[in-house]
Amino acid sequence: MTENPFRSVLFAPGNRAEMLAKLPNSQPDAAVIDLEDATPENQKLESRAIARNAISNLTKLHPNLPLFVRINPVSTSFFADDVIEGLRPELTGVVVPKLASEEEITTVVEAIEAAGCGHLAIMAGIETVAGVVEARVVTAHPRVAWCYFGAEDYIVDLGGTRTTGNHEVAVARAQVAQAARLGRVHAIDMVVTDFNDDSRFLKELEEARSLGFTGKLCIHPNQVPLAHKGFSPSEEELVWASRVINAWETAIAQGRASIQVDGAMVDEPIAQRAKHYLSMVNTRDNTKD
């Protein structure tokens, strides 16, 4: 994985200049100007101009904030103009929703290269039945650096019913996480549409982290600090990890590969988990200004 993980990815509508200007205020790990779902169809043209202006301002004032634009899907009539008029080389990357095949990614790459933005990395939206089934293909593409699972669109495409229990998306969610791991890209979890429901956000965050997701999509600034806390190892986890690694290294030097720490068995997989907790802190520290 060559790109840094994003614990929070905060979206704001592309047609709302005042909201775009506030994107950095909550200090998200990444910010997205949304030309897709959050922008009405009759304001797509206007939103591209607003997005261009916002990109210029945000990249000058906040050069260390990873900034993306989410364009409309390849299959829509808005795609080509979004690429030509909505993207700028200063961006960190482009968010492309509803990707489901290598051919679609090729279309995206060719379009952004023709627009002079060929260096931009892709954050792939996996949010259709076909996308979930072909997730391994999407995440394996060399231009994809991150992916996210879009539960709402997936359920619409599936013809199912969305519930707060998330049982209907459990399999798809796990498949996306597995595909991300195989493709060596970072997986970002679905949105919580009720941005006043902190308890649901925290519950889903815990589920997502246990599945291997490294961050969560945010649609409100108040969700950002929740994501940062939840996708960072706790003090208890760090203390445990340090104890485990110290004991493990001593044991390995003595020719032992299975020990006890705090009354629990520690072997290679447990030691690797402890190392992962510590590496999460080191990675985040290295990205600070």
Q: Which residues of 213-236 are buried (b: 16+ CB within 10 A; e: fewer)?
A: bbbbbbbbbebbebbbebbbbeee
- Band the pLDDT of 288: cuts 50, 70, 90: very low
SS (H, E, C) 84-139: HHHCCCCCCEEEECCCCCHHHHHHHHHHHHHCCCCCCEEEEEECCHHHHHCHHHHH
Q: How far is CA 267 from the centre of its chain?
A: 31
CA distance 30 to 125: 15
Q: Across the chain, what does the average pLDDT equal?
A: 91
Sign of the CA dihedral with 105 first, then 108, 114, and 120 last? negative
* 150 lies in the same domain as 196: yes
| Gap between the Cα atoms of 60 and 215, Å rounded | 26
Kindly state whether residue 53 falls inside one of the protein's structural domains.
yes
Kindly report each contact of residues 284-289 with a partner whose C-beta sits within 8 Å and lies 24 or more positions away, as own/partner. Answer: 284/232, 287/4, 289/64
Identity (one letter) of the amino acid at 240?
A: W
In this prediction the pTM is: 0.86
pLDDT at 270: 81
Task: Please give the tally of structural domains in the chain.
Answer: 2
DSSP class per residue in 12-26: EETT-HHHHHTGGGG
Task: Tell whether 3 is covered by a domain.
Answer: no
- Is the domain of 225 the same as that of 239? no
More confident residue, 286 or 208: 208
CATH number at residue 225: 3.20.20.60
> CA 161, CA 167: separation in Å to the nearest integer?
10
What pLDDT, on a 0 to 100 scale, did the predictor assign at position 267?
78
Per-residue model confidence as pLDDT tens digits over 137-178: 999 999 999 999 999 999 999 999 999 999 999 999 999 999
- Both 129 and 76 in one domain: the answer is yes
Model confidence at 286: pLDDT above 60: no
Specify whether 134 is located in the same domain as 153: yes
Same domain, yes or no: 174 and 260: no
Calculate the alpha carbon distances from 259 to 14, 99, 269 in Å. 54, 46, 12
Tell me what pLDDT residue 274 has. 72
205 pLDDT more than 80: yes
Print the domain residue range for 242.
Answer: 235-286
